[in-house]
Amino acid sequence: MIVCPNCQHHNHKQATHCAQCGQPLADAVHCVCPSCGALNPIDGQFCQRCLTDLTVPVAQAPTVPRPEPTPEPPKVDSGKKESAPQAQKPKTPERPARRKRRDCKDRSAQREIAPLPDPAEGREPKGLEGGLAELGGDPLAGVTDVLPLETAVALPHRGAPPSELRSEHEEQEDAHLFSSLASEPAPLTAAAQQVLPPLRSKLPRWLKLVLSLLLLLAAGVPSLSPGWLPGPLTPSADTSKLLSVLSSLGSDAQILVAFEYGPDHAAELDPVAERILEQLADQGVQIHLLSTEPAGLGLAQRMLHGSDSLQMGLDDEQIQVLGLLPGREIGIRTLMRSVEGAFRLQTVASGPHGTDLTHTPTRISGFDHVILVGDDSRILRAWIEQAPSTLHPLAVVTAQVYPALVPYKASGQLSTLTQGPTAAIELQASTSRQITPLGATDGLAALFVVVLCVAILANVLPTKSNNTR
């Protein structure tokens, strides 16, 4: 029995046109097993369910009557066909090519097939709803991977999208997929390839190269442009407060600076960190550096002994590296309880450059200020959560993390919150020191132009269908 792709009427295997609607059956992809009624590929030899030879002509194949249409739920109705089954309106082929398999609810009533699988049995493909939600256009697909917060914990579960995001098309996809699983005992991998659509549409290679080229061009702007666009006229409130706090410190002040960023954000935060350390060193402040990450400690040591990429080496008599605090919350909490307990300073009393560490405060309250320079919201949150309520760190963070910490600034848990790239530009504008912040004004403007082009291209270029069946 050949299933008509238009009205799903079951026709004889030798039929060339549908007996009900007149649609040519050349495009049919499914046939019905005369023995068990299971759907099989049109060119299959044996029924996948009962192994009946489909090529043997059946003398009297039962004509399965089309049942009365079940009352359609409101959201399924979209003006498509599903009119009275008795009407045999020859459908003219003015509509575009329809999907081959539709409305399995009726078919399930007209043949004996296995009942739909119990989800508890685990046959329901996991992540299917999430995948189909992406077909329906979940804008969070692909974006959440680059966000700083633990979106898996906090974001709405993508397996349960709001009902208005699901279309009739997806409802029918779901129905057919369940029916397919019930009636076609295909191998698991084959079923997965047929049933599960690719979760993300793959971008064409040429498009990826175009996007990459645009981004590379924009990334070259800070290095090559002479600075067409103006910078900020006045520093922001937080940057001003940071500057005033630093300027007000005396030569006997003790400052703790936590380098909580890695080399992957060194380009963004090194200029600001270097600028802050220079300012503090100029005022004769004792600076103590530490990190909860090995890479951060490496960057701190780089500040101490100087580096090719830094503007200048710093005077190591006022700056010492305390050490590493592994374990994130464990290390930070140990530090908050006792600085001496965290670093065992008596065994490192003579630092690597012969400095005297005996004047390092033994408790966190002994420091005048704590400055956090970070790129990871989890580590910065750990600092804020483990710090006592009397400690209000000054935070300099990347643009990625900045919005995620705004509520902590609003609640007063952070004294200041500045953003690396713009803070560097503002510091350059407000002081006489020369620093070369990357991502300068021209570069960010170029980035905006590129992202705008991407947004336009995304909506202008035709999208490739995700249906790979």
Write out the binding residues for other proteins, residues 162-221 only, by CB under 8 A: 162, 164-165, 200-201, 203, 205, 207-209, 211-212, 214-216, 218-221
The CB-of-333 to other proteins minimum distance in angstroms stands at 5
The CB-of-419 to other proteins minimum distance in angstroms stands at 8
Tell me which stretch binds other proteins (CB under 8 A): 7-15, 64-72, 96-104, 146-154: 146-154
Could you say which residues in the range 257-276 bind other proteins, by CB under 8 A? 262-268
Q: Are the C-beta atoms of 70 and 62 separated by less than 8 Å?
A: no
85 binds other proteins (CB under 8 A): no
Q: Binding marks (x or -) toward other proteins, 393..412, rule CB under 8 A? A: -----xxxxxxx-xxx-xxx
Query: Residue 67 or residue 263: which is nearer to other proteins going by CB?
Result: 263
Single out the residue of 185, 385, 467, 468 in contact with other proteins (rule: CB under 8 A). Answer: 385
Q: Binding marks (x or -) toward other proteins, 332..361, rule CB under 8 A? A: -xx--xx--xxxx-xxx---x---------
420 binds other proteins (CB under 8 A): yes
Tell me which stretch binds other proteins (CB under 8 A): 29-37, 86-94, 137-145, 249-257: 137-145
Query: Residue 123 or residue 409: which is nearer to other proteins going by CB?
Result: 409
Could you say which residues in the range 14-73 bind other proteins, by CB under 8 A? none
86 binds other proteins (CB under 8 A): no
Tell me which stretch binds other proteins (CB under 8 A): 13-21, 81-89, 171-179, 456-464: 456-464
User: What are the structure tokens assigned to 256, written together?
Assistant: 């703790």
Query: Residue 52 or residue 362: which is nearer to other proteins going by CB?
Result: 362
Cα atoms found within 13 Å of the Cα of residue 252, Cβ hemisphere only: 1
Backbone angles phi, psi at 297, to 5 degrees: -65, -35
Single out the residue of 25, 256, 289, 384 in contact with other proteins (rule: CB under 8 A). Answer: 384
Single out the residue of 282, 313, 457, 468 in contact with other proteins (rule: CB under 8 A). Answer: 457
Single out the residue of 86, 251, 390, 463 in contact with other proteins (rule: CB under 8 A). Answer: 463
Single out the residue of 29, 42, 140, 186 in contact with other proteins (rule: CB under 8 A). Answer: 140
6 binds other proteins (CB under 8 A): no
User: What are the structure tokens assigned to 306, written together?
Assistant: 């100087």
Query: Residue 25 or residue 258: which is nearer to other proteins going by CB?
Result: 258
Strand-pair category, 2-3 with 10-11: antiparallel
Tell me which stretch binds other proteins (CB under 8 A): 73-81, 115-123, 279-287, 326-334: 326-334
Query: Residue 51 or residue 406: which is nearer to other proteins going by CB?
Result: 406
